[in-house]
Structure 1
């Protein structure tokens, strides 16, 4: 059975990577994963927003990619050392802080792809996501962390869709290359998508063979982070189901014209 996260929205799926921040928005001070960036993606007409989450010092799940504030706010502190109020103050002139719960409440028409970035965030993020499971695909580089968040979601409501973590992707890639179809089927059990870069170092991940193998097992392939229109078209021609991009506006114009 297809998870509701996928239903009613055709492919290729455009996933707005950390919202949408155009060069003009960036010049005005807006940053990724802010309330304004999510709102801009929504205004551009996307269905899907890809984001990340961490836990603050006082236990609030916020949309934020890095484990510290240096790149986004010029503050060397770890995000886990900062309270929600302190983070709100720091993000006030950068597009505004947005928590995971606020994102899901404030944008009911959006579907979210949430990457859990910290072990401490797995359970509280999962508990929030469980109330909105139909609209969330949950992932993490750590399959252990992903499993913990999925279990927490199940305890609170609907299990979200999920994308395999790094270990799952490595096993899937090995099974595809060796032609071990039973091993691939076991690896992809319970997985709805594989979200991968086109290549990692010298290793080519996204090939037609990889995409077709995933599709035989009912699993989609989403590629990150793709900003060039030519690359978007080439990957879609290869059979890729979703494009994760910093320029969702460009992707929509390129792929959904």
Structure 2
């Protein structure tokens, strides 16, 4: 049996609640409390809530007859957490957070203080667990920046061919830039000269629209001075080399050795780490 209840099998009152939370506003109607979220965020919340509903049906079926917000009592949420004890603390936190986010948005007048204290306790536990889980696997930005700099300088200078030198310069620049300017893979792969990367004689500026940021808000930052010389060399020397080699012409910043834009999945952490080895 699936752990997630499909949306079309949700109780009618839950389906109506979910639709209302997402509803866009009209001339005389208010927007739903979650209508500002992007589709990916809404889908994530939907799946977490769907798991809650499936657990209720399996473990506490009588609760389904209650209004959605009244089901999420502290004893019932605690029982769900006990059944989730095989999962990581962060996973349990995400499930509880998703359910409470939906229900508190649907019924903001209800007293959610006890449930929020429960979530705060989960957050403290998850915070401690995350540090241990990631110990030794997460590199600091300083380490990554230094590695990118070495790749773009020492390794590039020692490269046996022009092509290999240009690839080292490009890869080192990408790693160094990401170390100091973290951004989503889709945003990084989609940087375009004159649109999301603005080049002037004095500065290089990254400007991302809201649909490319986690918060949904536009983001703008000047490229740090420690990365600027690498990025300028890439823009002025390396990128034109690849474009000419592949007879390409476009405004996408990051390109492969044939001048074609990098695909998003070509910039995953595994591939970037491979470039450092």
Alignment TM class, shorter chain as reference: under 0.3
Between structure 1 and structure 2, the one with the greater Rg is 2
User: Greater strand share, 1 or 2?
Assistant: 1
- TM-score scaled to structure 2, two decimals? 0.23
TM-score normalised per structure 1: 0.24
Larger helix proportion of the pair:
2
